Amino acid sequence: GMIVHKSLLYAVAANKLYSVTTAGTATERGTLSTSTGRIGITAIDNEIIITDGTAGYTYVVSTATFAIITDVDYNDAAEVCTAQDGYFLVAKPSSDQFYISAVDNGQSWVSTQFASAEGHYDLLVSLISVKRNLYLIGETTTEVWFNSGATIPFERINNVFIDKGCAAKFTVAQVGDSIMWLAMNSQGNSEIVKLDGFDITTVQNRGIQYRMGKHTTISDAFAF
């Protein structure tokens, strides 16, 4: 996994986090406890968080400090993450819940700071924040939330409900102001979709749809 933040590329290769300059100079920044599979990675102003399904990690940019998240209220099983308004958010696997960090502190989590996708019962597959909208993408449906400033900061936008879910958690990617991913509908059909605000369209052609239909497993797909 990788992310561009403050003019540097941060990339995880095997069990190492590196920062890479535009000249291609790589500097090792930390060591993860795993070396295979995919990771989630996102950033706020001065901090990056990494999730790998067994632990969480933070990297503070200003001090070049890499650390494992030791707070017992953090969900070590989280694989996907996003960030908005200084909060880190992670999805709890095999549930409809997402957890919210303290503001500007990926090391601090409170067990009561979580919420559930509630428009339709659906297991939460992935989540992403784009233009201050938080998209909760389940198996067959998607909800849009926003930061309301309440005790649990995020609330669902009423009357917005998208009848497409996600077939592969690591395919969710921001493309400009849009989001694209490998979707799944309630009939079990997969398709590549593009979401602009609240409007969703299918963007694949029949040839790609046919090829995807030949795969017995698509949940391991990824995109960037």
Q: For position 126, what pLDDT does the model report?
A: 97
Q: Is the pLDDT of residue 119 over 80?
A: no
Dihedral sign (CA 129, 131, 132, 133): negative
**Residue 220: helix, strand or coil by DSSP?**
coil
Q: For position 101, what pLDDT does the model report?
A: 98
- What DSSP character marks residue 171? G
| CA–CA dist 38, 2 (Å, integer) | 10
Q: What is the mean pLDDT of the chain?
A: 93
Q: Is the pLDDT of residue 149 over 70?
A: yes
**Structure-token pair, residue 196:** 């602009």
pLDDT band at 7 (very low <50, low <70, confident <90, very high): very high
pLDDT band at 185 (very low <50, low <70, confident <90, very high): low
Bridging pattern class, strands 56-60 and 165-166: unpaired
pLDDT band at 47 (very low <50, low <70, confident <90, very high): very high
Q: For residue 40, count other CB atoms closer than 10 A to its CB.
A: 24
Report in angstroms the alpha-carbon separations of 79 from 35, 127, 136, 141, 173: 14, 11, 14, 19, 15
Q: Any residues with CB less than 8 A from the CB of 114 and at least 6 apart, and which? A: 92, 97, 98, 99, 100, 152
Report in angstroms the alpha-carbon separations of 145 from 70, 102, 133, 163, 164: 28, 18, 6, 15, 16
Q: Any residues with CB less than 8 A from the CB of 201 and at least 6 apart, and which? A: 193, 194
Q: Please, how many CA atoms are within 13 Å of residue 199, restricted to the half-sphere of its CB? A: 3
| CA–CA dist 48, 65 (Å, integer) | 10
How far is Cα of residue 5 from the mean position of the Cα atoms in its chain?
16
Return the percentage of the chain with pLDDT > 70, whole number. 98
Nearest to 123 by CA among 159, 97, 144: 97
Q: Is the pLDDT of residue 179 over 90?
A: yes
Q: For residue 101, count other CB atoms closer than 10 A to its CB.
A: 28
Average pLDDT over residues 129-153: 93
Q: Is the pLDDT of residue 128 over 90?
A: yes
180 and 168 Cβ atoms separated by less than 8 Å: no
Return the percentage of the chain with pLDDT > 90, whole number. 81
Q: For position 158, what pLDDT does the model report?
A: 87
Rg (CA), the chain: 17
Average pLDDT over residues 95-110: 96
